[in-house]
Amino acid sequence: MPLTGIEIFKLLPKTNCKECGVPTCLAFAMNLAAGKVELGACPYVSEEAKEQLQEASAPPIRQVTIGVGDTALKVGGETVMFRHEKRFENAPGLAILIKDSMEDSEVDARLERFKLEYERVGLTLRPELIAIKDESGDATKFEALVNKVKQNSDGGIILMSNNLDILAAGVKACADRKPLIYAATQDNLDGVAGLAKENSCPVAVKASGLEETADLTTKLSEAGVNDIVIDSGSRTVRQAFEDQVIIRSAALTKKFKPLGFPTITFPSEMTDDPMKEAVIASMFVAKYGGIIVLSDFQGESLFPLLVERLNIYTDPQRPLATTEGIYEIGGPDENSPVLITTNFSLTYFIVSGEIEGSRVPSYLLVMDTEGLSVMTAWAAGKFVADAIAPFVKKSGVMDKVKHNKLIIPGYAAAESGGLEEELPGSEILVGPRDGALIPAYLKAWKP
């Protein structure tokens, strides 16, 4: 069971030295219990207390890292069944499958498709992993493919084979990239455990059912391998879905350690229909895949999966927000319109996109409303005349233009009178409610 704040407090130095960034050890203990800070933020915890606290504060599902450097992927580390309880921590990695039986041209095409990426709300969405599968039974061929992938991609690598020698050849080629070794089974567990330990790589277990999964993870842990990913072996949609829910629930609510690891799932092995495969993958994005291996990437299925993943793994308590400030769009001058909006990322990107599309150079003033959209911020009293006026004055945006007109969003129309009082000499114009109407509005605008 996790320790309470008071239990954690008893193990802290109680000097209230503030070096962890909060005023007291008690406040730090409370934050640690709530999972808001890392234990490492306090430099004075004794080794003995550290051991107890680390054990108690470790997430019930272990966090496992695949790869190195900026492109390393963290999976697992989850603490809740449902996103509304707190948040999901680490988004599942999406993997493209490349087999050593494929023609060179197909391998090249897949490596190219692995580079698919999309911009959305200021973020770059892209997949992370390449699963390299041995089908040839030829260690030299497998190693050559691993080398090719390594040279042509910065993605994390999953090495897939039942054969220990072939896995060893793959690890030899890319041990510095810390690949995920797939898979340890009842037949090769000792050998794979040795390979993983020698090269400090994470390992996936592949079982036939949950009992065998727990047995394999226990044996791996006893052999000193702790970075484990689990494949319960199910390849029907229903069974695989049930397994994901049972694994998450057993780890979180029953504190059953042998299932306290992230999972790897294979929509690629559940259907031959690309559309169905994407639908199955979307199920695992929601419930509770750690890694999702797809037979191929195509924009029409990859993009929706990336957006679904972004939406589910966004912290519901912290809306995506844009930095407050003046954004100059299209090279505005002293006769350009000035618009104001809130800093909810989606609002910002829609409004700025429409302004850009209008080809009317403009100033867009973005106000920090804690990531709330215009209507929500207005209803919450964060985007009202009393708050907007001092922000407009402080920003100095009206010093950049010769006119005195400020365009507010249509949804904040009720604030226009208040703003004219708070900003004497300004003319407050009410813009459209719908972002799509901004271009027509700006084209008709006169200073």
- The contact set with ligand SF4 (CB under 6 A) reads 12-13, 15-20, 25, 28, 42, 44
DSSP notation for 280-348: HHHHHHHTT-SEEEES---HHHHHHHHHHHHHHTS-TTS--BPPPEEEEES---TTS-EEEEE-BHHHH
CB of 304 to ligand SF4, least distance (A): 44
Nearest to 326 by CA among 303, 355, 300, 299: 355
Q: Which is nearer to ligand SF4, 40 or 353 (CB)?
A: 40
CB of 132 to ligand SF4, least distance (A): 45
The count of C-alpha atoms lying within 13 angstroms of the C-alpha of 78, restricted to the half-sphere facing its C-beta, is: 30
Q: Which is nearer to ligand SF4, 13 or 396 (CB)?
A: 13
Question: What is the CB neighbour count within 10 angstroms for residue 152?
Answer: 15
CB of 8 to ligand SF4, least distance (A): 10
Q: Which is nearer to ligand SF4, 28 or 297 (CB)?
A: 28
Q: Which is nearer to ligand SF4, 18 or 115 (CB)?
A: 18
Helix axes 237-253, 210-222, angle to 10 degrees: 50
CB of 20 to ligand SF4, least distance (A): 3
* 142 within 8 A of 170, measured Cβ to Cβ: yes
CB of 53 to ligand SF4, least distance (A): 11
Q: Which is nearer to ligand SF4, 13 or 299 (CB)?
A: 13
Q: Which is nearer to ligand SF4, 12 or 408 (CB)?
A: 12
CB of 59 to ligand SF4, least distance (A): 21
Cα 438 from Cα 432, distance rounded (Å): 6
Under 8 Å CB-to-CB from 291, ≥6 apart: which residues? 66, 75, 92, 93, 95, 129, 158, 180, 229, 262, 263, 264, 265
* 102 within 8 A of 111, measured Cβ to Cβ: no
